[in-house]
Structure formats: structure tokens, C-alpha cells
Structure 1
Amino acid sequence: MITATQLIPYNPSGDEELKRLKQQFAKLRQERVPLYLTLDEFDQILHWKLRGQYARQRERRKANTDEVVRTITKAALSLTVPDEDYEIELRFGILCALRGVSVPVASAILALVFPEKYAVIDFRVWRQVFDEERTTFSVSDYKRYLHEIQRLAHELGWQVQEVDFAIWEYDRRNSWKPTINRATS
């Protein structure tokens, strides 16, 4: 299990794309009440989160029109309830109604819009936090994950999204899997 001390060299302050997106959505939070995302803004998040896998569900996501994205994200992003765990369940349930959105993508939307509150769930960070391999996640998994990221954020004095990114970068730089040489096996 990763510790706060291990994360200090991986503070994400140098990631320009992450900074740009967070600034863009912070500005939107001030200007757009109630808050919603346009199809273009939603697509920017997909590009950032999915990177090389962006094209994988492109056809499925075509059903997400600008009107649909605005309506769904408005409902999810403007919703607040006193019980934070219930708010997570509701927000994820609403966002996952969009085609091509599952728990990891919904977490990316929430983490970019509310970086002080949410983190992006990912197999790399899960591996470092819980010392187990996992590639699919439920909302219950996310809540467990977020509580651990929040604990580390509190310890470091960082935003939860910064901790999440630092763990992702730590794993990317420090984890490796041996490759099988098919010519000799």
C-alpha cells in the first residue's frame, strides 16, 4: 500500500493538460449556474481520460447529443445531498446514463469539475492503494477508493484529484510487468 511520503515527488503540478482542464472547469463553475457540460467539453474529458482508447466506443457515444449531454450533466453536477456517499451514488448513476460512460469515465468528469472532492478511479491507482489488480469498478468500489484517496490528501494537504494523479504517475514510473518473448517461449 502506497504512503503519503512516497507521493511527494509525484505532485502533479507539472501536467499542463490537467491544469488547463481544471482551470477551464473551475471557470465554468463560476459562470454557469446551474452547471452543465456541452458535448465538446464532455468530449475533452473523454480524450483526457481515455487517451489511446478514445476511439474504442466512438460509435456507441454518437447517441450522446449536445442536448442529452447538457441535460444529464446538469442533473448530475448540480445535485447536492447531505449524505456524501448517497450523492456519489446519485451522481454516478446519472452520469452512467450517457452512452460510453462507466464508473471510471464518470469519476473523470467529477474529478475535473470538482478536483477538491473527487478522484479518477483507475487500475494503476487501485493497484497502489489496495495492492490488488482490478480493471472494472462499481460505485461501491469507487466510494472505498475515494475514502483512501481522501485520507492521503488530508495527510499531504493536497486536493484528492492531485493525490490520485500522483499515485497514477508513481505507478506508471515504478510498475512493470515482464514481457514474454514469444520467440523463446
Structure 2
Amino acid sequence: MSDKKIDADFIKYWMPFYDKPDIGADYSEYTSIMNKVHRDVANGTIYESTFKDILDWKAARIKGKVDWNNFEYYDNTFKEMLKAEDDAKLSILCQLDGIGVPTASTILHFIYPERFPIIDYRVMEVLNNFGYLNTKNATSESNYHKYRNVILNIAAESNCSLSELDRALFAYHKENLD
């Protein structure tokens, strides 16, 4: 592992940078989507309009890969995923047309914000740079599970939320590795 460490001090220092307009500054949109997802999940699914909001927030280009004429299939898959064990949830979502690991992790994060981090190439690059990971492929399910474990451990050791850690790592990348 590298001499550099991601800890509570690192997160406290870097997280405010995320709110700069040229870095992130999307927290109100994030909160709005989080609220919509929680309302939907209380009804046992994720509705089409909320799903579109998630895709717009994560990567709008994905919307062109989704089979909108068969949203019932997505709805049934969301219902199945909600009932599944945590270890199976990502795989279930990745079976959907247009949904890969990054988007699946985003959906899971909005449903379970303290159990599933959003995978992002920038955050993965920071973790690689600091010696926490040794992989660049964010799109494989096995690498997501490694990434998730690293993120959960850092968040627990630093006493922060996954969102706070994500914002700090994203901001660090934008300021130092972009």
C-alpha cells in the first residue's frame, strides 16, 4: 500500500471541493433523486420517471440503450432485486438491457445509500493511486465487489457516509488526476 492514506482528515479536507461548480455541485439533484427512489421503493419498485432521473444523473447516454417499450421487464427486475440478498442485487440489475456495473451500482446506491457505493472511474483511479486497489476495470462485477469492500472499509474507519467519501475522492481526482 502507498504512503498516502484516505482517512477522516482526507475526507474532511477534500469533500467541500465537490461543491465547486467545475467539480460536482449536484447535491440538490442527488437528494431529489434519493427522495424519489425512497418513495418508489416504499411501493416495491422504481418507477420509469425515477429510473430516467437516475440515468440522467449518472450517464444520460445510457437512456438510448434501455428498452423503454418493455419497461415492465425492468419493473419486474427491480422487484426481484429488492427481494434478493445483497450479493445478488448487482448481477440481477446487470441483466437488464443497457445496464452495466456503473449504472447498476448507482441504482443500488440510491436504494441502499449506506451499503452500495457508486462505482466511478475517477474514484477507482484514486483508490488505485493510493494503493487500495490494483485494477482499472470498473465494469466487471468481481471488481465492483472488491471496490465495494474497500469503500465500505474506508467509510467505516473514517466514520463517514459513502456519499461523503465518494464526493471527497471525486473532488481529489478532479483537482489532482484529471
Gaps of 5+ in 2: 20-24
Among 135, 141, 144, the residue aligned to 2:146: 144
What's the counterpart of residue 55 of structure 2?
A: 46
- Map 1:76-91 → 2, pairs under 5 A: 76-80=81-85, 87-88=86-87, 90-91=88-89
Is 1:115 aligned to residue 113 of structure 2?
yes
What's the counterpart of residue 22 of structure 2?
A: none
Rg bigger for which structure? 1
Evaluate the alpha carbon distance shift between residue 160 and residue 64 of structure 1 in structure 2; reply closer, same or farther with a 3 A threshold: farther
What's the counterpart of residue 128 of structure 1?
A: 126
Q: 1:102: how far off?
A: 0.5
Evaluate the alpha carbon distance shift between residue 24 and residue 162 of structure 1 in structure 2; reply closer, same or farther with a 3 A threshold: farther
How many residue pairs get matched?
162
- Map 1:164-175 → 2, pairs under 5 A: 164-175=166-177
Q: Which runs of 4+ in 1 moved over 6 A?
A: none
What TM-score, normalized by structure 2, do the two folds share?
0.79
Identity of aligned residues (%): 24
What TM-score, normalized by structure 1, do the two folds share?
0.76
Evaluate the alpha carbon distance shift between residue 118 and residue 136 of structure 1 in structure 2; reply closer, same or farther with a 3 A threshold: closer
What's the counterpart of residue 8 of structure 1?
A: 12
Q: 1:2: how far off?
A: 4.8
- Map 1:15-94 → 2, pairs under 5 A: 15-29=27-41, 31-32=42-43, 35-50=44-59, 54-55=60-61, 57-63=62-68, 65-80=70-85, 87-88=86-87, 90-94=88-92
Gaps of 5+ in 1: 81-86, 177-185
Q: Which moved more, 1:142-151 or 1:10-19?
A: 10-19
